[in-house]
Structure 1
Amino acid sequence: MPSPSPIVIGQVTSLTGSNYMGLENRDGAELAVQQLNDAGGVLGRPVELAVEDDESLPQGAVAAYHRMADRGVVAVVGTSFSNASLAVLSHTDERRVVYVSTGAAHTQVDPVRPYVFMTPPTGRVVAAQLLRYFRHRGLTRIAVAFDSDSVFNREAWTTQETMLSQFGIEAVTVVSVKVDTEDFGPAVAEAAASGAQALMAWVTGPPATGLALAFRSAGLNIPMVVGLGAASPTFVDEVGPGADGIIVATSLVAVEADLPPSATRSAIAALTEPFERRHGVPPSQFAVDGYTAAKLIAAAVDAAGDDAPQAVRQAMDSLTCLTPEGEYRFSSTDHSGLDVNDVAVAVIRDGRFRLTPWSRDEMLRHLP
C-alpha cells in the first residue's frame, strides 16, 4: 500500500541577509514539524516543511510566497522581518493561501485580511503592557529611542505615543536611530539630559545591542525598557554582563521557570526542553514564533479535516489553540489572537529572562 502523501507547510524566512533571526525562526518550525510527525502526523499523513529564503528583502519574501503557492502548500509560515512580511500581504488576496506571519507589525492584521494571521503579540499589545508596567512603577516621564528603519518598531512607538495620556505618562524626548547607526552615544546623551525616569527603546538586532552598550557605558541610573525585539538570547550574549537589569517585553516562553504550574507552562516545556537539547540554547522569541505558526497551521488542518487551502483558512478564522505563547482565539475580526496578558515583562538577570514581580502577579491572575 503506498504511503500517504505529505501535508506540506511552507515557510518564508531569512536564511541570508541582515535578518539573522530568520534562522532561529526556521529552527522553531522544524521542531514543530518533527513533533507533529513523532505524534503520527496530521490527518494520518506526514508533515513536511518546505523553506524558502527571503534574503531579508521585501521583494524576496514576495517571490518566496509565490513559489510556495505554486507548489501547493496548505499554508505558509511567514517571515519574522516585518518590512518583508508587510510586502507579502496584498499577494495573499490573489493566491488565497493562508499566511501566518511571525513578524510583529500590527498593521499586518489591522485591518483584517482574510488570509493573513500572525503569531507574536502585536506592537499595540506590547506597547500597552509596557505602559501598564511604567504606571505601576510610577515612571511618568520617559525618553524614547526607536529604530526608524524598522516597520515594527516605528509603528509600535507611533501606537504607544497615542496611548501615553491614558496612562499619565509623558515622552520628554524622542530620538530616532537607524539600522546602520554605529554611534549610539548621542541618543543616550539626549535621554540623559531630558530628565527622563526611564528609557523606552523600540529597537531590534544590531541597534538593540548598540543602544544597550551605549546606555551601560553612560552609567545612567534609570531603567532601560526594550520592546519585544530584544527578547532573544543573542541580545543577551552580545550585550554581555551589561544586559543585567534591562527590562524586556517577552513571550511567556522566555520566563518559563517563573510561571505557575498551568496548561500553558506544560505547552512551553514541550517546546523548550527539546529545543535546548537540540540547539544548546533556549529558544528565542523568533524560534518560538516559527514553532507556534507551524503548530497553528497543523491545528487548523486537523480542525478542518482537510488540507485544501480554503478549508484551512475557514478553520483558522475560528481557531482556539493553546500554544507556548498563550491561547490563541482567532475570529473573523481578530487575526492576532493574543492580548496583553500574553506579554511578560521580564528583567535580565545572570543572562536569563526573569519575571518582574509585577508581571508575576499579573500571570497568577490571568494564565490559563
Structure 2
Amino acid sequence: MQTPPPPPASPPTGAPADGPSLRIGALAPLTRPGWAEAGRHLLAGLELAVREVNDSGGIAGRPLELVVKDTAADPRKAAAAVDELARLGVAALAGEYHSVVARAVAARADALGVPFLCSSAVLDTLTEQPTRWVARIAPAQSHGWRIYADFLLGAGHRRIAVAADPSVYWASGAAVLRDRLASHGGTVVELGMRALTPAAVCDELAAREVTALLLLVGHPEPAVSIVEAVRRDERLPGMMIGAPAGQPELAEWAELTGDDGAAVPFLRYLPEHLSPLGARVGRALRERLGQAPSFVAFEGYDTVTVLADVLRGQGADRERIAAAWPDVDVEGTRGRIRFSHVPGIGVWQWSWAPVQVVERDRAEPDRFRILHSG
C-alpha cells in the first residue's frame, strides 16, 4: 500500500489561540522506497498529539503547527529538508522511522543547532559524536536486539541464519545477535542478499542445518518473497522465521503474506497492558488510521507530548530546548519518559521504552501473541 504524501504544512486544528504558531518540523517516510505505512502511522501519532495540544489551549496561547516533510528513506532528501525547516524557523524537529535517514537528520540538526527528537529510529550510533541537540524516544538497537537474542536462546535456537541486505543498520543488528548468541555457545550464519535469490536462501538453509532464519531485509521485498519461499520448501519443515526489525507489525505485512506471515516473531515497543492514557490514545489513533495503531503511532504521539512539555517551559528558543532534555519528566502512552546519557550512545536517550517479542497468531492473524518481554 502506498499513501500519497500530505500537504507540506499541516495547519493547526481546533486551536483556540490567536497568537503566532509554534512550528515543529515533522520528518517521515511517506512515499517509496521508504516504508510509507510506517510513516503514515508515525504522522498519525504526531498529528493527534498536536490536535490535542491545540484543543487544550496550545502553548501559552500559541497553537502548535506541524510542517511535514517526506523523507522517502533518502538521507540526502532528509538533510535538505532539515535545511529548509531550519530556514522556516521551526523550534524543533520530530519523527523519522528509518535509521540511516535519522542519522542524516541528526547530523544536520547538530550542525545547524536545531533540536531533534527522534521518534522511531533505533541505530545506536545515531550521531558519530555526542551531541546535546538530539534526543530519542525509541530504544537503542543494541538493547532491543539483545532481548530478541535472549528470546531465541530461550526458545532453543543456537544456530541461526540471517538474510541480510547491505546496510549499517542491518550490519549493526547482526553484530548484536552474533555477540549475544556467541556468549551462550550459539552461532550466526550470514547470508548476503546482494547475491542470493529467495530460492538460493532456501538451499543455504537446508545445507547449513540452522533452526531459524531472521529477515534483516527491506519490506515488502525481498522479505515477502523469502517468507513465501521458505514456507513452501519441503526441506525446511518447522523452520522459524523471525523479523526483529518489526516488519510484521503493520497491516500491510498480513495483507501481502497471508497465512505465511503469521508466527514470525518481531520486536515491538509496547507494554503488555496500556495505561489509561495509552488506551485512550490507542482508541483515537485507531479511529484516525482506520486500523489498529502500531507502536510507531504511539512513538509519534509521545514525541509531540515531550516537545509540548518542553516548549511550555522554554518557548521556541532552540538553545533552551536542547538544554532542557535532561529535565524532561513526562507521562507518555507507554510509561514515564525521562532522558539520560547511556554508555555508547551519543544522544539523550529514554531508557527504555517497553520491549516485547510478539507474533501474529496463526489462528487469528489480527491478534498478537506476546512471546517474551524485556
Cα distance, 1:33 vs. partner? 1.0
- Partner residue, 1:126: 144
Partner Cα separation in structure 2 for residue 124 and residue 142 of structure 1: 18
- Aligned partner of 2:308 among 285, 298, 305: 298
Cα distance, 1:332 vs. partner? 4.4
- Aligned partner of 1:192 among 182, 206, 210: 206
Question: 3-state SS of the aligned residue for 2:227?
Answer: helix
- Partner residue, 2:46: 29
**Is this contact kept in 2: 1:224–1:246, CA < 8 A?**
yes
Percent identity between matched residues is 23
Specify whether residues 271 and 237 from structure 1 end up closer, same or farther in structure 2 by C-alpha distance, changes over 3 A only. farther
- Partner residue, 1:280: 290
Question: 3-state SS of the aligned residue for 1:356?
Answer: strand
Specify whether residues 224 and 58 from structure 1 end up closer, same or farther in structure 2 by C-alpha distance, changes over 3 A only. same
Partner Cα separation in structure 2 for residue 345 and residue 2 of structure 1: 43
State the number of aligned residues.
Answer: 346
Partner Cα separation in structure 2 for residue 188 and residue 40 of structure 1: 58
Tell me which amino acid in the other structure corresponds to 1:184.
Answer: P
Cα distance, 1:278 vs. partner? 1.9
- Aligned partner of 1:145 among 135, 153, 163: 163
Partner Cα separation in structure 2 for residue 249 and residue 160 of structure 1: 13
Cα distance, 1:277 vs. partner? 1.1
**Is this contact kept in 2: 1:140–1:170, CA < 8 A?**
yes
Partner Cα separation in structure 1 for residue 223 and residue 337 of structure 2: 28
Cα distance, 1:133 vs. partner? 0.8
Alignment of structure 1 residues 216-227 onto 2, 5 Å: 216-218=231-233, 220=236, 221-227=238-244
- Aligned partner of 1:327 among 311, 336, 344: 336
Alignment of structure 1 residues 61-76 onto 2, 5 Å: 61-76=78-93
- Partner residue, 1:162: 179
**Is this contact kept in 1: 2:244–2:266, CA < 8 A?**
yes
Partner Cα separation in structure 2 for residue 123 and residue 188 of structure 1: 27
Cα distance, 1:237 vs. partner? 2.0
Q: Which segments of structure 1 move beyond 4 Å, counting only runs of 4 or more?
A: none
Give the structure with the higher percent helix.
1
Cα distance, 1:163 vs. partner? 2.6
Cα distance, 1:68 vs. partner? 1.0
Specify every segment of 5 or more residues in structure 1 that has no aligned partner in the other structure, as ranges: 254-258, 363-368
Question: 3-state SS of the aligned residue for 1:228?
Answer: coil
Residue 10 of structure 1 pairs with residue 20 of structure 2: no
- Partner residue, 1:94: 111
- Partner residue, 2:260: 242
Q: TM-score, normalised by structure 2?
A: 0.84
Q: CA RMSD in A?
A: 2.5
Specify whether residues 308 and 291 from structure 1 end up closer, same or farther in structure 2 by C-alpha distance, changes over 3 A only. same
1:318-367: per-residue Cα shift (whole Å, max 9, x none)? 3233323443331245623133x7211102112235243543xx6xxxxx
Partner Cα separation in structure 2 for residue 89 and residue 316 of structure 1: 15
**Is this contact kept in 2: 1:237–1:351, CA < 8 A?**
no
Partner Cα separation in structure 2 for residue 176 and residue 272 of structure 1: 38
Q: TM-score, normalised by structure 1?
A: 0.85
Partner Cα separation in structure 2 for residue 338 and residue 234 of structure 1: 29
Tell me which amino acid in the other structure corresponds to 1:70.
Answer: R
Specify whether residues 120 and 138 from structure 1 end up closer, same or farther in structure 2 by C-alpha distance, changes over 3 A only. same
**Is this contact kept in 2: 1:326–1:338, CA < 8 A?**
no
Specify whether residues 132 and 69 from structure 1 end up closer, same or farther in structure 2 by C-alpha distance, changes over 3 A only. same
Specify every segment of 5 or more residues in structure 2 that has no aligned partner in the other structure, as ranges: 1-15
Question: 3-state SS of the aligned residue for 1:347?
Answer: strand
Tell me which amino acid in the other structure corresponds to 2:32.
Answer: G
1:284-308: per-residue Cα shift (whole Å, max 9, x none)? 3433333232222222223x34231
- Partner residue, 1:177: 193
Cα distance, 1:202 vs. partner? 2.2
Cα distance, 1:66 vs. partner? 1.0
Partner Cα separation in structure 2 for residue 192 and residue 353 of structure 1: 31
Cα distance, 1:311 vs. partner? 1.5
